[in-house]
Structure 1
Amino acid sequence: ATAAMPVDTRRSEAVDIDIERPTPPFWGTTILQPEDLPFDELFWHLDLQALIAGQWQFRKPKDQSREDYDAFLDQKVYPILKQWKQRIVAEKLLHPQAIYGYFPCLAEENSLHIYDPKVAENPGDTLPEPVTTFTFPRQKSMRRLCIADFFVPKEQGIDQKRFDVFPMQAVTVGDIATEFAQKLFAGDEYTEYLYFHGLAVQTAEAVAEWTHARIRRELGYGESEPDNIRDMLAQRYQGSRYSFGYPACPNMQDQYKQLDLLQTDRIKLHMDESEQLYPEQSTTAIMVYHPVAKYFSA
């Protein structure tokens, strides 16, 4: 058998270690209920391209001019969207909730140790045991990025008696989204099903976008916020968010740890043995505030 290649744990030179580190407004988690998540703000965060061309399949035919396509959107598609937004609000067909929070962390090689939020308020002389550890892959080439590099290394944290901050979030639009979609489908209302289901999926994404924006403001990056949704979806803001299962953090098992830390059972959000999230229209993410952090694949 061939010997296993040694794991590359050397920090990436592309990631500056001496940046100003934010202080979170609180340690631990907080729950946002529907009254904390205004629909008009959530709908502002919708990715209309993903909704209209992706979920609803209204793509521009190759032989159609941009003007004609835009006219079609104005006449046919936007009225449908408006109608469904109004119906969702009036009939409470989505139940948006989020749990997000700030966890003390320190990096060691390619791993990130997560500590009990209580210890961050009062760091003692000895470092406690982490409550959990996430280990991330490192790019084999290019800038050799690894998520752990974006955070304060353990030895520096011990020296300065401080933790870095690891924000996480889990959001959902509730079981009602699944139930209502099933009701439409069972009633042979396939077109309505398609519209509602697509909008429910994208609204869950919008809750994630909204919550991440709140976290950036709370960490002090509000002045660099985009004022339009296109720039926001293009990640023209400070840092990045990643979801387990994607290239930079591919280990889906880590999502179980994440749901535990966030105590998502409080909003009835869980993942089954086959790694499927429930309610169906839910998403989770980890946040990185470091300016170099953008999407990358390891």
Structure 2
Amino acid sequence: KTGRFPLCNYPLEELVPLVNWSYFFAAWGLPGRYPDLLDHPEKGEEARRVLQDAQELLHRIVSRRLLRADGVVGIYPAVAEGDDIVVYRDDTPGAACLRLPMLRNQQDNRAENLSLADFLAPADGGKRDALGMFALTAGIGLERIVGEFRAVHDDYRAIMAKLLADRLAEAFAEALHRYVRTELWGYERPGEKTVEDLFAGRYRGIRPAIGYPSAPDHSLKADLFEWMDVGRIAGISLTESYMMMPGESVCGLIFARADARNFSVGRIGADQSADYARRRGMDPERLAALLGQHLEP
């Protein structure tokens, strides 16, 4: 199924089973694998106390609908032109298109130097492939929750509320990706994968977030937001530095190929930097500000 699909006011109770508590505890400063962490000889007692408080707050958030989860996902015809991804609005002749330049890993010690464009059919193959795009948030309402806790000097629960919203956003991303695989793309049977499978990434396809290792250019978010009208549908905005507001938000791309896998672009050389600036239509100095940590000195 191609097109754009809003997922507004997504049921929070459906996200709770997909909360990854291991990441919650790591963000809290208690690294370890859940639930084993609860029996840790040194950290177990604190972990159990924090978990009880977190689950009580999560129950309050869900039962009173204190947070709202809104998102949008689209599946579009797409091809790869070199290291660019070209997305089409539909399959009609002359359909509007969006070009998303990608970066390629250049490290000499890699067996393959990958680009996300590698996971789409090439434009000269004569047949269009498909690409998923998504943006979502579970942070609508969080500012009010945090403000109420701060007003009574309860920094403990203010911090906890933010971490729970972060986990709900990631759970929403997991639920959205499952919906894409089972309903929109339809190559996975509903109920085929367990929650443990989802946490371990044991499914076909990937959903790399924009601004992270395989697509480190945060400015690509602006293209995705405009293409899918994210601000109007999901209530997410971008700052001048392309950070998402609310901060408890995720956006990225979805690939369905069986051999698609996550990777890190890492350091890129001056040759690729210049080529990417040209393909992106961006001043090299502006690019350096966006990708400074990825540019070879």
Q: TM-score, normalised by structure 2?
A: 0.78
Residue 235 (str. 1) matches residue 201 (str. 2)? yes
Residue 276 of structure 1 is matched in structure 2 by: 243
> CA 1:231 to 1:66, structure 2 compared with 1: closer, same or farther past 3 Å?
same
What is the correspondence of 1:149-188 to structure 2 with a 5 Å cutoff?
Answer: 149-157=118-126, 160=127, 163-188=128-153
Instruction: Please state how far the C-alpha of 1:101 moved relative to its aligned partner.
Output: 0.9
In 2, Cα distance between equivalents of 1:211 and 1:220? 13
The residue aligned with 2:101 is 135
Partner of 2:222: 256
Distance 2:216 2:89 in 1: 24
Report the Cα distance in structure 2 between the residues aligned to 1:96 and 1:129, rounded to whole angstroms.
31
Specify the alignment match of 1:45 in structure 2.
18
Structure 2 residue 63 is matched with structure 1 residue 90? yes
The 5-angstrom pairing of residues 191-206 of structure 1 reads 191-206=156-171
Alignment-derived partner of residue 76 in structure 2: 103
Q: Which residue of 1 aligns with 2:264?
A: 297
Report the CA distance shift for 1:50/1:65 in structure 2 as closer, same or farther (over 3 A). closer
Instruction: Kindly indicate whether the alpha-carbon contact (under 8 Å) linking 1:178 and 1:281 is maintained by their aligned counterparts in 2.
Output: no
Q: Which runs of 5+ in 1 are unaligned?
A: 1-24
Other-structure match for 1:12: none
Q: How far apart are residue 105 of structure 1 and its match?
A: 0.9
Q: Which amino acid aligns with 1:31?
A: P
Aligned-residue RMSD, C-alpha = 2.4
Task: Please tell me whether the aligned partners of residues 38 and 45 of structure 2 are also in contact (alpha carbons under 8 angstroms).
Answer: no
C-alpha deviation, 1:33, in angstroms: 1.8
Residue pair 2:38, 2:47 contacting (<8 A) in 1 also:
no
Structure 2 unpaired stretches of 5+: 266-297
Higher relative contact order (CA 8 A, sep 6+): 1
In the alignment, what sits opposite 1:29? 4
Percent same amino acid at aligned positions? 23
Give the counterpart of 1:222 among 182, 188, 192: 188
- Structure 1 residues 175 and 264, CA, compared in 2 at 3 Å: closer, same or farther? same
Aligned residues: 256
- TM-score calculated relative to the size of structure 1: 0.78
Partner SS for 1:145: coil
Return the alpha-carbon distance in structure 2 between the equivalents of residues 69 and 295 of structure 1.
Answer: 34
